[in-house]
Structure 1
Amino acid sequence: MHAAADFISRIRTERPTVGLLAMDHIWPRMIELCQQAGLDYIILDREHGPHSDQLIAECCQIGRLIGFPVLVRTISADYDQVRRAIDMGPVGIMLPAVERLEQLDEARDALWLPPRGRRRPGGWGNHGLPDFHYDTWRSRFEDHLVVLPQIETTLGLAQVEAIAAHELTTAIAVGTYDLSMELGCGSGPDDVVLQAALGRIRAAGRAAGKNMWMIGDGPTLRDLGYTLICVGDPSAILGARLAQIALTTKG
């Protein structure tokens, strides 16, 4: 679990950390491509993406074998969804649209073994451990598990300070598109209402001693002081690059 330990250390020390959120297309070779490109992590999206358990487990396995952090975004923070996702073997999870502390409490039950939680481990996620004693689970898995709750609604924004301070939260995250819609400012990234909300989320993380996950243009976010950065969806990046190649080639 060295990759997981190093990843969580990067997040906590605010070393520049750059990754992807893969939504539309996922394939096992992509994990190697991310590592070879110098990225630091990838999040496999199961909230919107049509990806099978088998595919997710295979991608997590490759990440485990080559030492590259693979996370999964779940459909919700519900116990069954989180427990199923963690059995696939990721080093962490992203939880969409978190609005209440009770959601994080339920996710904690699905992630931690008794007596701290109610997890019943199984599946490919077991393969990265030398044995299945409780102390091994805690020291090799639970202590390095990354949890990123997303603030995507006005209800979540109202509770962001408590969500950021929760013991399960590794770093506070945001879903800028959904949040901007809820705030009534469309998808414009420069809207003053959205920027005020992002400032509050970032401040909540800092007050809790935690980083903030942000998605957008990498260099721009870096210049704004963000260090836990997602540069987008690989399908969108590929499409934009192909369009650029076609334009410059055709003249």
Structure 2
Amino acid sequence: MKAAQNLMAKVNRGDVVTGLLVMNHVWLELIEISRNAGLDYLILDMEHGSPNVDMVVEMCAIGRMLDFPVLIRPVDHEMSTIRKAIDMGPCGFLLPTVQSAADLDKVRDAIYMPPRGQRRPGSRGNAWVSGLHLEAWQRQVEDHFIILPQIETQRGLDNRAEIAGHEITTAMAHGPYDLSYDLGVGGAMSGPEVSAANKQIQAAAHAAGKKMWVIGDGPALRAQGYTFICLGAPMGILGNALQGMVSRTVA
């Protein structure tokens, strides 16, 4: 998929790449707004958000038409969930709470066609490839499908090397809020414990020849040397912008 290929080419070159994690404000025009703003990708959050499935399918389709990367964060990484999610047509997944290479083995089996996996595509999942033979699936979907496993627990952190080295891992990712609680420092996402964990995840990624996806304050993360950045959720960005506008107006 060209959108996935282009995005990861930027990431692997070390370009500064920015995007959004979209939970509630899911509408088609967001792709155009994001593209015009200079963002590089969107992730539609089906773990915490509640976007309509048809809307997700349409946004993925428009992303493919425009070569603008639209990924999905599924609610979990069980095979049944992943099979349904990949049929929606994203160019990749942000996977929550990956704790071991075995978790990624299940995802691999769900996204790859036989003989490499056990995928059984159907319905809308068949509409966006040029043919139903194996070569088309591999060339147009599997070869460049993006997998970003989130480290959100101590167990995942302990197994970071095997997760980073897994064949389907495109880049490593963190989940700083959930990770902070599992590390016993609930909510202290910029504290020393989470910062140290982030560096461990980044080191594991680099050892495997890969980058790391991070979410948070864009300028601060950039100053720390990260380049594959999520600026947050539109809901939070809009709220912060409105608060700033109101405070400046009434001051």
Fold equivalence (TM over 0.5): yes
Does structure 2 retain, via aligned residues, the 8 Å contact 1:70–1:92?
yes
CA shift, 1:122, in A, is 2.2
Whole-angstrom CA distance in 2 between matches of 1:183 and 1:215: 18
Does structure 2 retain, via aligned residues, the 8 Å contact 1:110–1:117?
yes
Alignment partner, residue 247 of structure 2: 247
CA shift, 1:188, in A, is 2.1
CA shift, 1:190, in A, is 3.2
**Once the two structures are aligned, what percentage of the paired residues are identical?**
47
Matches within 5 A, 1:98-117: 98-117=98-117
CA shift, 1:24, in A, is 2.3
The SS at the match of 1:63 is helix
Matches within 5 A, 1:228-247: 228-247=228-247
The SS at the match of 1:47 is coil
Alignment partner, residue 4 of structure 1: 4
Q: Do residues 29 (structure 1) and 48 (structure 2) align?
A: no
Does structure 2 retain, via aligned residues, the 8 Å contact 1:4–1:69?
yes
Alignment partner, residue 67 of structure 1: 67
> Relative to structure 2, which stretch is displaced further, 185-194 or 91-100?
185-194
Whole-angstrom CA distance in 2 between matches of 1:126 and 1:249: 52
> Relative to structure 2, which stretch is displaced further, 184-193 or 136-145?
184-193
- AA in 1 matched with 2:30: M
CA shift, 1:123, in A, is 3.2
Whole-angstrom CA distance in 1 between matches of 2:230 and 2:40: 10
> Relative to structure 2, which stretch is displaced further, 214-223 or 37-46?
214-223
Matches within 5 A, 1:102-141: 102-141=102-141
Matches within 5 A, 1:27-66: 27-66=27-66
Whole-angstrom CA distance in 2 between matches of 1:59 and 1:129: 17
Map Cα deviations across residues 28-63 of structure 1 (whole Å, 9 max, x no partner): 111111111110000000011112211110111111
Whole-angstrom CA distance in 1 between matches of 2:199 and 2:27: 35
- AA in 1 matched with 2:22: A
- Structure 1 residues 214 and 162, CA gap change in structure 2 (3 angstroms): same
Alignment partner, residue 88 of structure 1: 88
Whole-angstrom CA distance in 2 between matches of 1:217 and 1:30: 21
Does structure 2 retain, via aligned residues, the 8 Å contact 1:86–1:125?
yes
Alignment partner, residue 213 of structure 1: 213
CA shift, 1:2, in A, is 1.9
RMSD over aligned Cα atoms:
1.1
The SS at the match of 2:117 is coil
- The alignment's TM-score, normalised by the length of structure 1, stands at 0.97
Q: Do residues 143 (structure 1) and 143 (structure 2) align?
A: yes
Whole-angstrom CA distance in 2 between matches of 1:240 and 1:210: 33
Whole-angstrom CA distance in 1 between matches of 2:131 and 2:94: 26
Q: What is the aligned length? A: 251
Map Cα deviations across residues 180-233 of structure 1 (whole Å, 9 max, x no partner): 111111222332221211111110000000100000111111111111000000
Does structure 2 retain, via aligned residues, the 8 Å contact 1:88–1:123?
no
> Where does structure 1 lack aligned partners over 5 or more consecutive residues?
none
Whole-angstrom CA distance in 1 between matches of 2:124 and 2:57: 7
Q: Do residues 153 (structure 1) and 147 (structure 2) align?
A: no
CA shift, 1:170, in A, is 0.3
Whole-angstrom CA distance in 2 between matches of 1:226 and 1:28: 29
Whole-angstrom CA distance in 2 between matches of 1:192 and 1:160: 19
The SS at the match of 1:195 is helix
- Runs of at least 4 residues off by over 4 Å: none
Matches within 5 A, 1:182-221: 182-221=182-221
Whole-angstrom CA distance in 2 between matches of 1:228 and 1:131: 33
Does structure 2 retain, via aligned residues, the 8 Å contact 1:18–1:41?
yes
- AA in 2 matched with 1:138: Q
Alignment partner, residue 77 of structure 1: 77
Does structure 2 retain, via aligned residues, the 8 Å contact 1:172–1:212?
yes
> Where does structure 2 lack aligned partners over 5 or more consecutive residues?
none
Whole-angstrom CA distance in 1 between matches of 2:40 and 2:34: 8
- The alignment's TM-score, normalised by the length of structure 2, stands at 0.97
Whole-angstrom CA distance in 2 between matches of 1:49 and 1:201: 26
